[in-house]
Amino acid sequence: MSGYLADILANADKIGIALAETGYMLAFSLAAAIVLGLPLGVVIYLTRPGGVRELRPVWFVANLYVTVVRSFPFLLFVVFLIPVTRLVYGTTFGTAAATFPLCFVGVALYARLTEQILLEVPHGVLRAAHSMGASTPQLVGRFLLVEARSGLVYALTSASISLISYSTVLGIVGGGGLGDFALRYGYQEYDYPLMYTTIVLVIICVLLLQAAGEKVSAMLDKR
């Protein structure tokens, strides 16, 4: 037991760095999901066939992006984007460059979840907005997003957990993070206690995110 604790303490700095790298990847990919994925999901919802503001060409392009990115195996998607990543960052190595493909996935994930949440908004809300002569921005900002805010927070929580899972494979491009640490210093060096400790740390992060998301979602749910 003392040897196990000594091993963990000896690697505490490396674990801290790996945790910070995972946090960096999650923070930037979630920011992309909120800033780009949320509006994209709203656009897909509004412009879909039979939607509030039906516009099929726009819906087709937006929906195609989401479908293609979500259908792509993530490891292959990272490799596929290597030329673009190199063009943007000048390198394909490092946490910042590794976060780039994760942002694309975060946008696609949250856009689809946003669309699904908005589809659950009662039709009475739409009728009320139309009866008041609400414009499209007013419909979105004062009715749809207000009604769906609890579900959107819960969806963001689900997206964040998926992004943590995706981030564990970014070690192939030097992204680092907890998943890469568990493989490199745990599995590959046959230090299984260290590997299991890192896995438990990932699980704890997921549980904390889930608990925080559920609490905020419940606070926003006025039904």
Question: Can you tell me the distance from the alpha carbon of 46 to that of 53, in angstroms, rounded to the nearest whole number?
Answer: 5
Model confidence pLDDT, tens digit, residues 155-213: 999 999 999 989 988 877 778 888 888 888 888 888 888 889 889 999 999 999 999 99
- Average pLDDT over the chain reads 90
Q: Look up the pTM and report it.
A: 0.91
Buried b or exposed e, range 161-182, using 16+ CB within 10 angstroms = bbbbebbbbbbebebbbbbbbb
Model pLDDT for residues 78-104, shown as the tens digit of each residue: 989 999 999 998 888 888 888 999 999
The full DSSP string for 84-153 is: HHHHHHS-S-SHHHHHHHHHHHHHHHHHHHHHHHHHTS-HHHHHHHHHTT--HHHIIIIIIHHHHHHHHH
pLDDT category at 1 given cuts 50, 70, 90 is low
Q: Check whether 5 has a pLDDT greater than 60.
A: yes
pLDDT of residue 130: 85
* CA distances in angstroms from 181 to 14, 54, 82, 140, listed in the order given: 8, 47, 22, 43
pLDDT at 45 over 90: yes
CA distance linking residue 152 with residue 206, whole number of Å: 18
pLDDT attached to residue 222? 67
- The Cβ-side half-sphere exposure at 52, using a 13 Å CA radius, reads 24
CA atoms within 13 A on the CB side of 203: 6
